Amino acid sequence: MRFFKISRSFALLLTICGASSAWADAPPWMHNLVGVSLPAYDEKTSAVLLYSDDVLTIQSNGKLKHLERRVYRILRPEGSDYGTVRADMSSESRVVSMRGWCIPAQGKDYEVKDKEAVETALTGLENGELVSDVKSRFLRIPAADPGNIVGYEVEYERQPYVLQDAWGFQHLVPVREARFTLQLAPGWEYRAVWLNHVEVQPTSSANGQIQWSLSDIKAIRPEVKMPPWVSVSGTMLISLFPRDGKNAGFRDWASMGKWEEGLSSDRRDASPEIKNKVAELTANAATPVEKINALATFMQKEIRYVAIQLGIGGWQPHHATEVFQHRYGDCKDKATLLSTMLQQVGIESYYLDVNTERGVITPETPATRWFDHVILAIKLPEGTSNSSLAMVYTHPRLGKLLIFDPTDQFTPLGQLSGELQAGYALLVTPDGGELIKVPQLSASLNGITRKASAVLDAQGNLTGTFNERRLGDAAAEERARMKFVSADKDRLKAIEGILSGSLANFVITKASITSLQDTREPFQMDYSIAVQRYAKPAGDLLLVRPRLIGVRSSSLLETKEARQLPVVFDGPRRDTDTFEITMPAGYEIDDLPPAVDMDYSFASYHSKTEAAGNRLKYTRTVEIKELSVPMEKMDELRKFYRVIATDERNTAVLKPSAAAASAK
């Protein structure tokens, strides 16, 4: 449960439903904080978390009680968001009560009681989630204004499928004091693992109470292209182990894999209809790879992503027969059906749990359910060799495993989206679970290759034809954008967006798109444009920018505040540009921009402008090689982007040729 920033529409709902408040004294644990010294903060800090207290009580029947208290001092108007409390409920957790208070700088205290809370379900089809038993309760605390103190208390009752908990003690604002108390039932054990913080030893009492305390915890300010929150914020993960062993926390990844394998052991039985469909789809497939491709294509194109997650359904897949019959399912459902279909042609496969934010799971992370996506590791028959299958992990015991995402309808078999590359994943086999590192693909499999041929007249006007060839995520993004676009004028908007970042006064005179549906082929766009006054006159000279279109520079690090966190990239990528501009008659080269050659461990950039007869030829290549840039290389990254920005602005100078000058 946490405070969070609500949308305007939901804020309006809270206003209409109106949390009514009453004059009532705030509890002593809040009043004790009036006048306390604040931790260090800067002028942009909207609030300070004065007090954070979590008490987790283990009952003898296996149920958990969780008491959560928070107290904030509001410093700026933006801090009013901390006056809205959110508590989530599901089949594993229910809210017993929630109350809130405000201690104003002047005047009497306010109280908001449980009955004033607004409850809502997670509705809508965002990300394909159709049905879920997760609900939220919201409580609005009045007068969350600068100078005032707001606080709340929420009590939960939980009966989780797996006995684990996480204490996230670092936040977007500074924390003055944070405590976590664990009250164990007789005979229970626990294990605590600290992430992104030095381990703190608890104090223990004779009645089985264990408590951890922290103070003056620095805030983490969000930054563009920062690592995922849980990979940088301080967290303590707690696994609980009851006497009877039921629903125990995971001791290791192997035990987590066994738990997941147990949930799905009876879900991959094939019905006669599934067997018939497999026979139909693979009838003309001569090799194992052709069979895998036929079944994978069916899964991508014919089985829609729709999530129905009730109770354990958030973790357990539906039966393959149900998914096949209804033609929809979530990620683990689609992986289950594809695994079932592969079995019918004698090909084994295994679940692969991943997180779509690289870095959430690392070798230091204890076994936990911090995965948000399920894909498939397909065991390739011995001797299989196919150049199109790049995303292959070689397992010491299982051999070559082809990693494939059945949910991603725009990435072909043999590749994988950049967000899933180079991260850690849980390979689930009948023997249990094993953490593996997903390979990183070659940068040559993702990016844009642009070629252009243009003609410049003496007035500086330019006409040109362009060809763009997109691979990997660059292709998937365009295909996804155009999925529901059928009108040509709407498809032109993608090209207009590309051009508008580099050109003014342009008109698209012709355009076409190739391989929109066939993901096995590069996505291509061909278009012709006319640009008025592209070249700029300077006396009798013409200034021409050789880099016609495409922006690879970035203002990411051009901020007043120093960067605090590493920079992460979406995936490996290589973009190349080759632009040729025919000079107007009567002009020749007077000056050319310098070539650029930068090669860092994380990226490289090479560009060159040269004369080729009556033409200017500009070529460049930019490549992302490493997917994370550490703090010690921020200066290199800043220089990298600045040099690119200069190169993208540079101009060639054309002057009247000697023959043209003498003719005048």
Written as six digits, the tokens of 274 are: 């599934």
Whether 552 and 646 have beta carbons less than 8 Å apart is answered as no
Cα–Cα nearest to 547, from 580, 508, 506: 580
Those residues whose C-beta lies under 8 Å from the C-beta of residue 337, and which sit 6 or more positions away, are 274, 299, 303, 320, 323, 324, 329, 406
Please report, for the chain, the start and end positions of each structural domain, with discontinuous segments joined by +: 2-241, 253-441, 444-659
Q: For domain 2-241, which CATH number applies: 2.60.40.3140, 3.40.50.1110, 3.20.20.70, 2.60.40.10?
A: 2.60.40.3140
3-state secondary structure of 156: strand
CA 430 vs CA 245, 261, 398: distances in Å: 21, 6, 12
Written as six digits, the tokens of 299 are: 């899964």
Checking 556-563 for CB contacts under 8 A at 24+ apart, the result is 556/224, 556/225, 556/637, 556/641, 557/634, 557/637, 557/638, 557/641, 558/638, 561/221, 563/223, 563/631, 563/634
55 half-sphere exposure, CB direction, 13 A CA radius: 10
Pairwise CA distance, residues 224 & 415, whole Å = 27
CA 4 vs CA 139, 237, 423: distances in Å: 11, 22, 28
* Angle subtended at Cα 409 by Cα 231 and Cα 480, rounded to the nearest 5 degrees: 85
Cα–Cα nearest to 261, from 384, 100, 433, 502: 433
Q: Supply φ then ψ for residue 264, to 5 degrees.
A: -115, 5
Cα–Cα nearest to 41, from 76, 65, 6, 67: 76
Strand 603-612 with 506-514, pairing: unpaired
Pairwise CA distance, residues 140 & 138, whole Å = 7
Query: b/e per residue, 62-76, with b = 16+ CB within 10 A?
Result: bebebbbbbbbbbbe
The length of the chain, given as a count of residues: 664
Domains 253-441 and 444-659 share a fold: no
CATH assignment, 444-659 = 2.60.120.1130
304 half-sphere exposure, CB direction, 13 A CA radius: 12
Give the per-residue pLDDT at 662: 59
Cα–Cα nearest to 470, from 491, 494, 446, 453: 446
Written as six digits, the tokens of 271 are: 């019905």
294-346, pLDDT tens digit by residue? 999 999 999 999 887 776 777 899 999 999 999 999 999 999 999 999 999 99
**Quick one: DSSP state of residue 90?**
B
Pairwise CA distance, residues 229 & 209, whole Å = 30
Pairwise CA distance, residues 25 & 172, whole Å = 28
Kindly write down the DSSP assignment for every residue of 60-87, as one continuous string: TTS-EEEEEEEEEEE-SGGGGGGGEEEE
The dihedral through the CA atoms of 310, 311, 316, 321 has a sign that is negative
CA 286 vs CA 277, 283, 290, 345, 385: distances in Å: 17, 8, 7, 12, 14
3-state secondary structure of 238: strand
Mean pLDDT per segment of 10 residues, for the chain of length 664 residues?
Answer: 37 44 84 95 95 94 92 97 93 93 94 92 49 82 96 94 94 98 91 96 88 97 96 96 82 94 93 98 96 96 86 86 96 97 98 97 94 97 91 97 97 97 97 97 98 97 97 95 78 88 94 91 96 95 97 95 96 98 95 98 98 95 98 98 98 87 58
Q: Which amino acid is at 286?
A: A
Q: Which amino acid is at 69?
A: R
Those residues whose C-beta lies under 8 Å from the C-beta of residue 182, and which sit 6 or more positions away, are 56, 58, 190, 202, 209, 210, 211, 238
Give the per-residue pLDDT at 5: 36
Give the per-residue pLDDT at 278: 98
Give the per-residue pLDDT at 255: 94
Pairwise CA distance, residues 246 & 256, whole Å = 13
Those residues whose C-beta lies under 8 Å from the C-beta of residue 351, and which sit 6 or more positions away, are 260, 264, 332, 335, 339, 374, 376, 377, 427, 428
CATH topology for 253-441 is: C8orf32 fold (3.10.620)
112 half-sphere exposure, CB direction, 13 A CA radius: 26
Q: Does an H or E element contain 178, and which?
A: strand 175-183
Written as six digits, the tokens of 70 are: 């928070």
Written as six digits, the tokens of 43 are: 């002028």
